[in-house]
Structure 1
Amino acid sequence: MPHLVIEYTANLTAGFDAAQALKAANRSLIESGEFEPDNIKSRVVPLADFRVGDRDEGHAFIHAHLHILPGRSESQRAAIAKRLRDALRLQYRPLPGVSTQITVEVLELRRDTYTKVVV
């Protein structure tokens, strides 16, 4: 905990360095003071097949799902989401003719159904 999944559309490869974005995202989570560094598990998933609205071209997105255990207030979760969004925004170089949406959602895991073992 937490688990971070960053999805991005494949048409962003020229403006989005996924490996650097992952480092920046993890750094933002660590700097929030809400998470122990060794507990953050993150990954980036490129989306070859995607669609935004009814258009085939000219649109793209970066979306982060952050799964955390309950116990933080709504304002804490909102601050984490904004911090993560801003970190991702700094890693994206806008591409001409491409409208890109950067979104983040913070989701709470259920303690009774989440399990972990370190071996």
Structure 2
Amino acid sequence: MPQITVDYSAQLKHGFDHDWPAFARDLHTTVVEIAAATLPGCKTRFRPTDDVFVGHEQEEDHALVHVHIALLPGRTEETKARLTEAVLELVRRHVRTDGGRTLHVSAEVRELDPSYRKFVE
């Protein structure tokens, strides 16, 4: 915990300032500071998405980034909203598009289901 997933348009593979580790490091630091998570508990996976559609326009004109953060229950709505805003700002600082694409960025913080379990070996 937290479980973090960054879905992004495949054409942005090199758009994260060519430095995925720096983005993950800043993201983890932000989650720890705002949501009182532990740094060793932060786990992030990046998933490129080839098929992106925005309205009726061609995907070449748009790029998407969506950050999902799943936390154990107990954070206030204000904390979750603050974290969401901070994540949007991180993406703004780290992601660059090329070719005049419109960048669509969103983020969501939710609570893990009570059935969530994990183990580490």
Amino acid at match of 2:6: I
User: Would you say 1:32 and 2:34 are equivalent positions?
Assistant: yes
User: Would you say 1:4 and 2:4 are equivalent positions?
Assistant: yes
Aligned residues: 118
Q: 1:64 aligns with which of 63, 67, 80?
A: 67
Q: Whose helix proportion is higher, 1 or 2?
A: 2
Give the TM-score normalised by the residue count of structure 2.
Answer: 0.86
> What does the per-residue CA deviation read over 1:54-113, in whole Å, with 9 as the maximum and x for residues that have no partner?
1112111110000111111100100111111111211012434210011100111122x1
Task: Output the CA distance in 1 between the equivalents of 2:41 and 2:86.
Answer: 18
State whether residues 7 and 65 of structure 2, in contact with CA within 8 Å, keep that contact through their aligned partners in structure 1. yes
| Aligned-pair CA distance for 1:30 | 2.4
Task: Output the CA distance in 2 between the equivalents of 1:89 and 1:34.
Answer: 23
Aligned-residue RMSD, C-alpha: 1.7
Percent identity over paired residues: 30
Give the TM-score normalised by the residue count of structure 1.
Answer: 0.88
Task: Output the CA distance in 1 between the equivalents of 2:38 and 2:90.
Answer: 18
